[in-house]
Amino acid sequence: MENKNPLLKLKNEHRLQAIPFPEFKTEHFLPAIEISLAEAKAEIETMKNNPAAPTFENTILELELNGELLDYVATIYFNLLGAESGPEHKALAQQISPLLAEFGSMVSTDPLIFARVKAVYDAEVAGKDKPAIPSDLNDKEALKKAERYRLIERSYTGFIRGGAMLSDADKKRLTEISMAASQLSPKFNDNVLNATNKWELHITDAKDVEGIPENSLKAAAFTAKKKGKESGWLFTLQPSSITPVLTYCKNRNIRKQAQNAYSSRAFRDEFDNQELIKQTLMLRKERAALLGYKTHADYVLADRMAESLTIATDFLEKIYDVAYPAAQKEVEEVRAFAKQLDGLDELMPWDMSYYSNKLKEQLYAYDPEELRPWFKVENVVQGLFTVTGKIYGIKVKQVYDVPVYHPDVTTWEVWDKNDNFLGLMYMDLFPRDTKRGGAWKTSFQGQGLHRDGMRRPMVSIVASLTPSTDDQPSLLTLGEARTIFHEFGHALHSLLADGYYKGLSGTSVLWDFVELPSQIMENWLMEEEALNLFAKHYQTGEALPKELLDKVIAAKNFQAGIANVTQLRYALMDFAWHTADPATITDVDAFEKEVTERFLLLPTLEGSNTSCAFAHIFAGGYSAGYYSYKWAEALEADAWSLFLEKGIFNQEVADSFKKYILSRGNAFHPMDIFVAFRGRKPDPDALLKRDGLIG
C-alpha cells in the first residue's frame, strides 16, 4: 500500500511539483496519515535522543522541519474537507483529527524535547535583547538572525502554552482534551453544511418572486433545472442565492421564510449543534484551567497583539459607545421609511435588508444591482491582478497544466517584476453541495525552508460567489467583488513572503494581525483610479459611469453604525461564550439572547440562533478571536490613510507596505512591524473616522 499510495510522494514529475489531485482516492488518506505519522514520530525520537548538546540546528530547526510528509497529507485532507468532500471523506475526520491532536500534544508535553528547547532558549534568547528590524531589509543575514531569535522564542512559548510544564497527570488529561476537541469541530462544520444544503425554496408563481433582479432569477431557474424541477425558481441558503431574496423580494412571507431558515441553521433540527457547543466550551475551559488561565479567552489573548482580554474588550466597547447610538438612528430611519412607503407597522428582521436597500436607492439614486454588469467575474479577477500589478509589480498568469480537485478550479502562476517565481495559486470561486459556505484563503504549501531547500508557496482562494448559468456569465455584486479582493489580500501575504523559516512565514502571524493585508486590499475596489482599470460592461465594454461610481462612493458609509454593531455583537458574544463558566450554561439559546440583548436593533426572531452556525468560533480558528476583524480593521484604516495621503498607487508607500507587512510574516512582533511601516503606533480612532462615525 505504501508504494502505491500517491499521497506518500512528496515529489513528482510536474514542473511545479503541483499536487496530483486526480490520483487521490478517499481510501488513500487514512493509510497515508498513519504511515506519515509513524515517520514523523521516528524523526522526533531521533531528535530528542540525540546525544549531542541541544543547538538551534539539532533541536529548533528539527522541530520546524519535522513531519513534512505528514503535513503534506494532512493539509490536502483538511483543505479538501472544506472545499470538495463527500460523506466518506468527511467521516474520516473523526479518525484523522484525534491522531494528529494526540501527536501534537505528545510532542509539546514531552519533557526531553522541552528540555532541549529550553536549553537553546536559555542560550540564545533569555535575557537578551530582541533584534530590531534591520534598517536595510535587503540584509538577508540580519533578517535570518532576527528570524532565528523569533523562531526560538515562539517555539519555547508554544511548548509552555502546549503544556510542557504540567504534571504527568495533567499532560495526559491535556492530550485527552485535544483529541476530544479535534473531533467536535469537523462535526460542527458538517452540521452547518448539511443544514445549509437541506433547505430549498421552490417557487413556481411569478408573483412570489416579484422584485428579485433578473440576474438572480436566471440563476434560480438554472438551479431549479439542475435539481430536476420542471419549472420555476429554486433558492438555497448559499449567500449568492438567499441575499437577493432578502434584499429585493416584494413578497414579505417569502422573505420571512428565507430569513427564518438562514437564522436557524443547525438549531433545534436534525443537525442541532447545541450539545457540541457545550462540549467544546467545557473542553476549552478545562484546558485553560490546566494551563493556569482563568478562562479560554484569557488563554487565547495572552498570545495576541492585543495582549489581554481587558485591552481587547475596551477596544470593542469604545466602538460600541459610538456605533450603537448611530445604529439606533439608522434603524429608526428605515422603520419610518417602511411605514411611509408601505404602511408597515413593525419592522422585522426579514424586512431590514429590503427596506434598507429601498432607502439607499432613494437617498443615493442607485441600486447595487446596477453594478453587476461591470463586475463579470473574469473581469474582476483580471482587474484584481492588474491593480495589484500596479501596486506591487507582480504578474499573474493563468496556467492549464496544473492538476485540480474540481473542474471549477483555475490555476495561476504568480511572478514578481523581475520574473522571479512567487508561487502557485488555485481559485475555486463558486458554490456546490460538497463545499462549506463562506470564503477563505488557505495554503497547500508554505514559503520557506523545507528538507530539500527553500520552496515557494501554493495558496488557494475558495468562495461561494454568484455562479454562471447556461445563458448568463457570473456577474458579481460589489460585495462579492470585495470578497475576491479580500481573499487575494490574504494570498498576497503568503505569495510575497520573503522569510527563511516557514513557521514564521506569510500568514503565520499573531491572529489579530492576520486580517490587515486582506482588509486593506478591499480599499482599491472603491477608488475610481483603480476601477477605471477593469470595470467594463460585460456586453458593451463601456467603462463604469462616473456618476454611478460617485453614488457608490457617496453611499459607502450608509448604515456604518449597523455594520459596526453587527460585528461587535459577534465579537463580544464570542468573548461571552469563552469567559463564562460553561457548567452554568444549560440553555445555549437563552445564554446567547442574554449576552446579545444590548445589541438588539430589531425584534428577536423566534427560533433563530447565531451560535449554532457560528463556525468561525466553534469550528475555525477564531475562538475568543473574532474581535480580530475589528482590531485589524482599525490597523487597516490607519494604514490606508497613508495610501490616501500619498496616492493609492504611490510606489514608496506600496514598497514599504510590501517590505514591512506582506513580506516579513511573523519575523517580528506585529506592533514593531506596523510602527516600521506607519512611523508611529496605530491611531485608535482611525476606524471610527473612516466610517464617518466621528469627525
Beta bridge partners of 236: 200
C-alpha cell at 675: 510602527
- Quick one: which H or E segment has residue 428? strand 421-428
CA separation for the pair 635, 388 (Å, rounded) = 20
CA separation for the pair 317, 512 (Å, rounded) = 17
In 3D space, the residue among 369, 359, 333, 374 whose CA is nearest the CA of residue 545 turns out to be 374
Query: Within 13 Å, how many C-alpha atoms sit on residue 10's CB side?
Result: 13
Question: DSSP string of 184-243?
Answer: HHHHHHHHHHHHHHH-EEEE--GGGGTTS-HHHHHHHHHHHHHTT-SSSEEEESSHHHHH
CA separation for the pair 334, 344 (Å, rounded) = 11
Beta bridge partners of 398: 412
- Which active-site residues does the annotation give? 487
- Quick one: which H or E segment has residue 415? strand 410-415
DSSP state of 59: I
Label residue 242 exposed, middle or buried (CB < 10 Å: 0-12, 13-18, 19+).
Answer: buried
Q: Are strands 421-428 and 458-462 parallel, antiparallel or unpaired?
A: parallel
Cα angle: 292, vertex 293, 295; to 5 degrees: 145
**Strands of the 440-445 sheet, one edge to the other:** 395-399, 410-415, 421-428, 458-462, 440-445
CA separation for the pair 658, 392 (Å, rounded) = 7
Q: Residue type for 159, please?
A: F
CA separation for the pair 686, 683 (Å, rounded) = 5
Close Cβ partners of 302 (under 8 Å, ≥ 6 residues apart):
161, 293, 308
- 143 near 134, Cβ under 8 Å? yes
